[in-house]
Amino acid sequence: MLRLLVIGLLLYGLGTALRQGWLEIQWSRFLHDAGLTFIDPDRPLKLQEVPAISPERPESASP
């Protein structure tokens, strides 16, 4: 039971730190280190550029 309390407090603290801006996640470096080598680790990654969120659009759908 004590383990669950400690894990809960750690997750709460991590969430608070991310929300307050005390911690910053560099998604481009994280994804590059995870094996997505087509992502440039030195360029900031916008949310719409994340591969899982922005699916490939077919060529015929573009105006």
17-28: per-residue pLDDT in tens? Answer: 888 888 877 878
Most confident of 10-14, 47-51, 59-63: 10-14
In 3D space, the residue among 56, 32, 24, 29 whose CA is nearest the CA of residue 44 turns out to be: 29
d(CA 20, CA 38): 31
At residue 47, the 3 state secondary structure works out as helix
pLDDT at 57 over 80: no
pLDDT at 59 over 60: no
d(CA 28, CA 61): 28
CB–CB of 41/28 below 8 Å? yes
